[in-house]
Chains A and B, each alone.
Chain A
Amino acid sequence: MIEAIPIQLVIMLVGLAATMAFVGLNAIVLVYLERKVAGFIHRRPGPYEVGPHGILQPFADGLKLVGKQIFTPKGADSFLYWLAPMISMAPAVVCFLVIPFGPHLQIINTNVGLVLILAFTGVNVLALCIAGWTSQNKYSLLGAARGVSQSVAYEIPLLLSVLPIIFLTGTFNLFDIATNQGSWPWQWFVVTQPLAFIIFFICALAETNRAPFDLPEAESELTAGFHTEYSGMGFALFFLSEYAYMVIAACVGAILFLGGFKGPIVDGWWWFLAKVYILLLIMIWIRWTFPRVRFDQLLNICWKWLIPLAILNLLITLLVIAL
């Protein structure tokens, strides 16, 4: 009993380090991917100069951001101001602890995995709010106001779209949810719950502030929204956390609806990563295609369409289960 605790602690620490590395690695890959995909959609090469085909570009970007002056605007509360990016980044790392990457590749197998992720991703709103409020900039303030109401509104349909899966599997354990699905695509929940998947995906876009729902940082309206004033690593942390939350959203989507690490022939992390990256690619593809929605439209979509649809979907699922 006494010996068991340190081992768990060691596993957790190693896991934490590993997830941090994973987050960093993912961010690097995603930055490169985003820019390359944007480039190809625009019929241009994208980053090309740093390293062969520009693969070292994310490192150059990172180095540049590290080298920038750390600047606190006049009149800003510097403690809260610098706390915000950390609050934004820290929960993202925790979320990865409970994600089952493969049949034997999970750091903590807990019964409340999904709840933990939903709870910790909610903390991001706080970071956004603090960042916008303490920046002493009107654009940041408007961005924060947008961000908070957007995130709060979209939590509801997100939860409602996840619930049918919970009822179908009867567990919050992500590992169990994944193993509840079969190896072949038609055995995944995306087939039985297509509406829930679509709602989940739209909500995930909104929660991660991705285009076309990138209102808190709407460039053409609020210059850069809540992180207007941040420079150097402050900005980089917000940037990193945005990508981390994207990956988390894609991971959860892959586990809940696409069978997680289950796949044809041999189960494993490779299937999981492939699914996650397909979802991420679609997110990037969407960003470089559509204009931005307006703020009241965004809330209209949520309250008038997504929530009623999600509730309807939930009721139908319950009815089918009860029968």
Chain B
Amino acid sequence: MIAKSIRENLQGMWSLLVGMKVTGKNFVQPNITVHYPRQTVASLEGYRGHVELVPHDKDPTKSKCIACSNCVRICPNSCITMKAVKPKKKAEDKEAAGDQSEGKKKAPAKKAKPELQSFILDYNYCSLCGQCAELCPTGALRFSSNVYLAGFTRQEFVIDLLARLQRQAQTKGAPNG
């Protein structure tokens, strides 16, 4: 009985030494972490940042968006607000509205393509499910890959994606396909 207990305890002590060997071995092995400001993570592929508008093939300042507002309806958190006007009719302030009035106006002006005025994403509430991008009939939405997006106020995360697209197009210079 006592002999068994002593043997058990000796085995236990041995297991402690084995544990120390494991940590000791890890101690001498190199670091596996990334020193963030000096190094950055390599594998950012597939990272989902906030959604962004895909530029039009011909004009990079224009979006592929046709303002169908499918994304507005599917969004679980109602992050997206869209404003579009029809170019043929003169812009009336009250008419430049969201999805509902858009649907109503479709019947009289069938040929007129609504032009996107602003595409505002409230990133604060986005849950990055990706359904807006999947549902888009023209593929006008995709995920950006800016991991280092940071800000001080909530307002900084309410982003006008169309303005962002135009800004990007300007900084890139000459339009390309």
Seen from chain A, the residues whose Cβ lies within 8 Å of a Cβ on chain B are 37, 40-45, 48, 285-286, 288-290, 305
Which chain B residues border A285 with CB–CB below 8 Å?
A: 20, 23-24, 27
Given A43-B31, A43-B33, verify A290-B26 contact (CB < 8 Å): no
B19 close to A (CB within 8 Å):
yes
Q: How far is the CA of A69 from the CA of B69 in the complex (A)?
A: 54
The CA-CA distance from A305 to B30 in the complex, in Å, is 39
Question: Would you give 20 A-B contacts (Cβ < 8 Å), ordered by A?
Answer: A37-B27, A40-B27, A40-B28, A42-B26, A43-B29, A43-B30, A43-B33, A44-B31, A44-B33, A45-B33, A45-B35, A48-B35, A285-B20, A285-B27, A286-B20, A288-B23, A289-B19, A289-B22, A290-B16, A305-B9
The 8 closest A-B pairs by CB, nearest first: A44-B33, A289-B23, A43-B32, A40-B27, A41-B23, A41-B27, A289-B19, A289-B20
A42 to B27, CA, bound (A): 7
User: Which B residues touch A44, using CB under 8 A?
Assistant: 31-33
**A45–B22 alpha-carbon span in the complex (Å):** 18
**What is the predominant secondary structure among interface residues of chain A facing chain B?**
loop
> Which residue of chain B has its CB nearest to the CB of A39?
B31
A288 to B23, CA, bound (A): 8
Instruction: Closest B residue to A48 by CB, please name it.
Output: B35
In B2-21, the 8 Å CB interface with A consists of: 9, 16, 19-20
User: In the complex the two chains form, what is the Cα distance from A290 to B28 in whole Å?
Assistant: 18
What 0/1 readout, one digit per residue, does chain B (35-54) give for beta carbons within 8 Å of chain A?
10000000000000000000
Neighbouring B residues of A40 by C-beta, 8 Å: 26-28, 31
Taking Cβ atoms with an 8 Å cutoff, the residues of B that contact A are 9, 16, 19-20, 22-24, 26-33, 35
B19 A290 Cβ-Cβ under 8 A:
yes
Measured in the bound complex, the distance between the Cα atoms of B20 and A288 in whole Å is 9
Nearest A residue (CB) for B22: A289
Using Cβ atoms and an 8 Å threshold, which residues of chain B touch A289? 16, 19-20, 22-23
Distance in angstroms between the alpha carbons of A48 and B36 in the assembled complex: 11
Residues of A within 8 A of B22 (CB): 289
Point out the residues of chain A lying under 8 angstroms from B28, CB to CB.
40
Residues in B neighbouring A37, C-beta threshold 8 A: 27
Please name the residue on chain A nearest to B20 by beta carbon. Answer: A289
Q: Could you tell me the distance in whole angstroms from the C-beta of B37 to the nearest C-beta in chain A? A: 8
Name which residue of chain A comes closest to B28, CB basis. Answer: A40
Give the residue of A45, A286, A288, A290 whose beta carbon is less than 8 angstroms from that of B31: A45
* Chain A positions within 8 Å of B26 at CB level: 40-43
A115 to B30, CA, bound (A): 45
Q: Residues of B contacting A288 with CB < 8 Å?
A: 23
* Complex contacts, A41 vs chain B, CB 8 Å: 23, 26-27
Give the residues in chain A near B31, CB-CB below 8 Å.
40, 43-45
Q: In the complex the two chains form, what is the Cα distance from A237 to B37 in whole Å?
A: 34
**CA of A323 to CA of B104, assembled, Å:** 111
Which residues of A sit under 8 angstroms from B19, Cβ to Cβ? 289-290
The chain B residue with its CB closest to the CB of A286 is B20
**Measured between C-beta atoms, what is the minimum distance from A3 to chain B in Å?**
55
Question: With a CB–CB cut-off of 8 A, which chain A residues contact B27?
Answer: 37, 40-41, 285
Q: How far is the CB of A206 from chain B (nearest CB, A)?
A: 15
- Closest approach, in angstroms, between the C-beta of A24 and any C-beta of chain B? 27
CB-CB under 8 A from B9, the residues of chain A are 305
Distance between A308 CB and nearest chain B CB, rounded to angstroms? 11
The smallest C-beta distance from B129 to any residue of chain A, in angstroms, reads 33
Q: Determine how close the nearest CB of chain A comes to the CB of B43; give it in whole angstroms.
A: 18
| Chain B residue nearest in CB terms to A46 | B31
Provide the bound-state CA to CA distance between A285 and B63, in Å: 59
How far is B15's CA from A290's CA once the two chains are assembled, in angstroms?
11
A40 to B26, CA, bound (A): 7
CA distance A290 to B19 in the complex (A): 8
Instruction: Give 4 A-B pairs besides A42-B26, A45-B31 with Cβ atoms closer than 8 angstroms.
Output: A41-B27, A45-B35, A285-B23, A290-B19
